[in-house]
Structure 1
Amino acid sequence: MFTGIASTVLSQTVGHYLGTGERTDGVLVIALLLNIALIMIGWRRHSDLAGEVRERTEAEARARALAARDPLTGFHNRRSLADEGAAMIAEAVRRNKAVALMMLDLDHFKSVNDMYGHATGDALLCAVAAEMMQIAPTGALHARLGGDEFAIALIFDPRTPDMIEHYAERLVHRLAQPFEAEGQRLHISCSLGIARSDFGSATVEALMRAGDIAMYAAKKSGRNRLAWFDQSMELELRVRNELEEGLRFAIPAGQIVPYFEQQVELATGALTGFEVLARWEHPTRGVIGPDQFIPIAEETGMIADLSLSIMQQAFVCARDWDPALMLSVNISPWQLRDPWLAQKIIKALTETGFPASRLEIEITESALFDNLALAQSIVGSLKNQGVRLALDDFGTGYSSLAHLRALPFDRIKIDKSFVTSINEAADSVAIVTAIVRLGESLNLPVTAEGVEDAAIAERLAAMGCAKGQGWHFGKPRSIVGVRKFLRERGLIAGIPPENVALITSRRRAG
């Protein structure tokens, strides 16, 4: 239509100017102009719609990118790792190769956020990501799974896994070096677990689970290291999870009970008190040592309830002992983060009627680094009630004189790792001697742990060490066993065995 009208109008216009006498029809001119206007409007609308479609397409592309990428580092996120990882596994199968997945967790990253703020923490994560990209082989798939946890996937020849281990070792080594972030010089490390698709982990989900188990094993064995996944790790994790579930029932049921290890004056052999140790009297597994369940209790936050339960049972058991006998109780570093810890201990003392002056709280030096001011507040409240304070495992940490001055310690305890080798290792002799001399100069008596035989006890006494504890003086005793031991020596101030009956009935009721 537009073409017909336009040709007629144009021919009439041309004829008019050539003098043929043919005049242009006004109606046709108007029709032509209307057609032109409609075309222009249509074209404008078409352009606008095309722009909207283009913007929507770009927005959708950005949304997909944001959904697939970590906004801080630009790495893949957990969801896109699953998709990209599945494609990588499929490609590896076609090429008769395998996929290695490394799960990586930064050690002590939380302390960076706590001390310097999240802006510094984010800058550190970006710096770590840049180093990972710098070291990574071509074709590596990087992902940030959240927080300070990363994953790296690689295709490799299963006949030469050394390439993967070499890369992992380089990464672990580099992340242990200082980083500069927001003007701060930061020291971290990483724990890294490796799983491979040709060893029973044929899916991304299975690879991530196996790599996570291996990473946990690396962290448990001391951090700043790598570990390859093997089936024994999965069995160990299953046992750990079973212990965790059992622990949630065992604490309120009274299955976690105190055992008592003698503390003896080395010069005279006189009994001065006991250290309270935790044992799990499991209904089917028998007695479980603290090394198996205390770390789980700390990791899961159950340590506070566990420790208070042990203290209450021990206080009830010991309140009618000879007044000269002390009780030493170890406090976990996790408990020293609780600003109400002193009040909880004082409440347990009050409810059980155990004298605060007969209680000695043991803390390790490493526990003071998280929050020295809070530790000073807790210790001050306890000292005001007459509770004594011992520095445990001295010699294994920083052994800082500043900490000995910062808190009002009444005693130093030497770690058993030095004591047990005192008659074989010259360096152990030197360390124990130095600690004993330090104690003398500060008027702090010294207790040595791990006294396993008479020769060690005699050597420590000759050095001037005040007290000792260990299996040379007898194995730790249960509530019933320690009461029988003390009764035979006339060290229980009256008998009513209601104390023992009360504890036993509580445990049975649980």
Structure 2
Amino acid sequence: MGDEPIIVADTAHGPARIFAAGLATGTALLAIAVFCAVNGYGGLALMVLIAAAIGLGLVYRSMPASVPRLPSFHRTSPTPDRDAFRTGAAALIDAARRRRKVPTLLRLDIDRVRAISGPQGREAHDLALRHVAALLDDELPRSALVARLEGDRFAAVMAFAPGDAARVERIVDRLAVRLVQPIRRDGMEVQASVTFGLARDTGQESLDTLLRQADMALTASAQGTRGQPWFTPEIERALGDRAAFVAALRAGIERGEIVPHFDPQVDLGNGRLVGFEVLARWHHPERGILPAREFLGIAEETGLICDLSLAVMRQAFAAARDWDPSLKLAINLSATQFQDAWLAQKIIKILTETGFPAHRVEVEITERALLADLPLAQSIVASLKNQGIGLALDDFGTGYSSLAHLRALPFDRIKIDRTYVQAMGADAERAAIVQAIVQLGDSLNLPTTAEGVTDADLAERLRMLGCVQAQGTLYGEPMALPDIRRLLAERHLLSRAVVTPGPGLTSPRLAG
């Protein structure tokens, strides 16, 4: 009888809760209940607990007598809260160890809830919470204790025979399959995405340690770095290294180590330099110059991308004040930044403080920035456009490319992703896609810029298709500010041209 269920009611003061509290202290060995109505959880709990009471009472008689009751429950989902969970989980772990079972802790986070149809916001979110709680109750062993810790975070403690990790993994796999299915109820259809983390007891871990280990496994799983979401010492080391890297990045932003480099953009019709895309580089005190791919992903995941981007923007605007007025700067904005309702005001403030003209700025966004909150993105873009700032749709041809996205915002330019451009010579299908994007831009009066142009033949082919601008290694690698100033001085593109001492950087691909 020791593996019979512990099912906790979703009521705050119902008879099932009173019975469960007595059971937890070992004082309830048998209960008989008569009721005239059965709710979805409380009635079920009574029915099952009547059958299991004697065995469970014996198992839990050894629980600490200082646990008088399960203190509180969430109304949104039929699970106990953090305090109730800690009480029950500690007792379950002790009981499992005495029976030579392996306590296992499961952590589940709801990462995102998307309302497909029906009411939005809180109603959709509550439906997802109830659905996750019900699936956990359905899929986990009947002896498991499940709780909603807070917000979108759930936890469960289970006990398994030694060497039975595969059983746990099968449970998680079934949960994952069921949780990706749309949730349909009461006229609503909701899609939820979740992440799992698992930690097993070795006989010495406290509940706090297991929770911490499961959290680390969940974090690693969310980063997509591994298969089954079990905690391992390697995960702890990797996350420690990551934490140190994040701390160094935060300090680097504050110390001004993240600086702009400038990638030339040219007019394919006449070869003239028309501007630069601003790229971030980290002048790391120990590792040298780090490219953006080594830190931008982490910056976005940790929320540092906002401060980083604004810091690079400020440096670039200040540096370009005395450049020829014909030269523009293209600034990348991430999807994370578009969750900041004050983004436009922050950019406008930097333009005002640096004195750089707004009409010489073009912000580049990917379609991903439109997915989370389109109305907010439209509001931010409207504020930027009102100042004269241009808007480009970056990496077109990848991800969620669609005409709907082109119509959602007042774009001024389409940028063709480098993976399509660089494959044009060897892949007829991708060449046709590039041609179609250029034609689409023409029909919508949106000029196109090709990224990743590596040779003159490719540039000529793009020009013949009608592509307006290009950038890539054909026109030079992204350059630091001193190199850019020398180049612009040689081209007489500085308002107060002063050639900085150093080797000439004249590029034969850039017309004078």
Give the TM-score taking structure 1 as reference length: 0.76
Structure 2 residue aligned with 1:12: none
Q: How does 1:136-285 map to 2 (within 5 A)?
A: 136-198=140-202, 202-221=205-224, 227-285=229-287
1:133–1:373: structure 2 CA closer, same or farther, 3 Å change rule? closer
Structure 2 residue aligned with 1:101: 105
| Bigger Cα displacement from structure 2, 88-97 vs 233-242 | 88-97
DSSP 3-state at the match of 1:314:
helix
Q: Is the 8 Å Cα contact of residues 105 and 192 (structure 1) preserved in structure 2?
A: yes
Q: How does 1:42-191 map to 2 (within 5 A)?
A: 65-67=69-71, 69-109=73-113, 116-191=120-195
Q: Is the 8 Å Cα contact of residues 115 and 190 (structure 2) preserved in structure 1?
A: no
In the TM superposition, residue 92 of structure 1 has moved relative to its aligned partner by 4.4
- Quick one: distance in 2 between partners of 1:296 and 1:111? 28
- Quick one: distance in 2 between partners of 1:80 and 1:60? 11
DSSP 3-state at the match of 1:116:
coil
Residue type of the alignment partner of 1:308: L
Q: Is the 8 Å Cα contact of residues 113 and 124 (structure 2) preserved in structure 1?
A: no
Aligned length: 441
Q: Is the 8 Å Cα contact of residues 256 and 310 (structure 1) preserved in structure 2?
A: yes
Q: How does 1:414-429 map to 2 (within 5 A)?
A: 414-429=416-431
In the TM superposition, residue 245 of structure 1 has moved relative to its aligned partner by 2.5
In the TM superposition, residue 278 of structure 1 has moved relative to its aligned partner by 1.4
- Quick one: distance in 2 between partners of 1:60 and 1:164? 26
Question: Is 1:450 aligned to residue 423 of structure 2?
Answer: no
- Quick one: distance in 2 between partners of 1:161 and 1:479? 55
Q: Is the 8 Å Cα contact of residues 195 and 229 (structure 1) preserved in structure 2?
A: yes
Structure 1 residue aligned with 2:435: 433
Q: Is the 8 Å Cα contact of residues 70 and 84 (structure 2) preserved in structure 1?
A: no
1:96-118 per-position Cα deviation (integer Å, ceiling 9, x unaligned): 44333221111213879x97243
* Equivalent residue for 1:407, pick from 406, 409, 423: 409
- Quick one: distance in 2 between partners of 1:367 and 1:494? 38
Residue type of the alignment partner of 2:209: A
In the TM superposition, residue 438 of structure 1 has moved relative to its aligned partner by 0.9
* Equivalent residue for 2:293, pick from 276, 291, 294: 291
- Quick one: distance in 1 between partners of 2:465 and 2:310? 36
Give the TM-score taking structure 2 as reference length: 0.76
Q: Where does the alignment leave 5 or more consecutive residues of structure 1 unmatched?
A: 1-54, 499-510
In the TM superposition, residue 133 of structure 1 has moved relative to its aligned partner by 1.4
- Quick one: distance in 2 between partners of 1:386 and 1:69? 53
DSSP 3-state at the match of 2:219:
helix
- Quick one: distance in 2 between partners of 1:235 and 1:487? 49
In the TM superposition, residue 181 of structure 1 has moved relative to its aligned partner by 4.0
1:157-180 per-position Cα deviation (integer Å, ceiling 9, x unaligned): 443422211111110110000112
1:195–1:386: structure 2 CA closer, same or farther, 3 Å change rule? same
| Bigger Cα displacement from structure 2, 424-433 vs 145-154 | 424-433
Identity %: 48
Q: Is the 8 Å Cα contact of residues 110 and 195 (structure 2) preserved in structure 1?
A: yes
Rg larger in structure: 1
- Quick one: distance in 2 between partners of 1:429 and 1:97? 60
Structure 1 residue aligned with 2:482: 480
DSSP 3-state at the match of 1:109:
strand
Q: Is the 8 Å Cα contact of residues 391 and 409 (structure 1) preserved in structure 2?
A: yes
- Quick one: distance in 2 between partners of 1:151 and 1:313? 45
* Equivalent residue for 2:494, pick from 477, 492, 503: 492
What do you get for the CA RMSD once the two structures are aligned? 3.3
1:139–1:66: structure 2 CA closer, same or farther, 3 Å change rule? closer
- Quick one: distance in 2 between partners of 1:432 and 1:201? 60
- Quick one: distance in 1 between partners of 2:130 and 2:346? 42
Residue type of the alignment partner of 2:89: G
- Quick one: distance in 1 between partners of 2:473 and 2:82? 51
Residue type of the alignment partner of 1:386: G
- Quick one: distance in 2 between partners of 1:347 and 1:73? 44
Q: Is the 8 Å Cα contact of residues 331 and 361 (structure 1) preserved in structure 2?
A: yes
- Quick one: distance in 2 between partners of 1:115 and 1:285? 51
- Quick one: distance in 2 between partners of 1:229 and 1:346? 45
Residue type of the alignment partner of 2:170: H
Give the structure with the higher percent helix.
1
Q: Where does the alignment leave 5 or more consecutive residues of structure 2 unmatched?
A: 1-14, 23-66, 501-512
1:460-498 per-position Cα deviation (integer Å, ceiling 9, x unaligned): 344332222233432221112222232333332323589
| Bigger Cα displacement from structure 2, 270-279 vs 381-390 | 381-390
Q: Is the 8 Å Cα contact of residues 261 and 469 (structure 1) preserved in structure 2?
A: yes
DSSP 3-state at the match of 1:228:
coil
- Quick one: distance in 2 between partners of 1:277 and 1:190? 33
| Bigger Cα displacement from structure 2, 291-300 vs 438-447 | 291-300
- Quick one: distance in 2 between partners of 1:373 and 1:138? 44
Residue type of the alignment partner of 2:223: K
Q: Is the 8 Å Cα contact of residues 109 and 188 (structure 1) preserved in structure 2?
A: yes
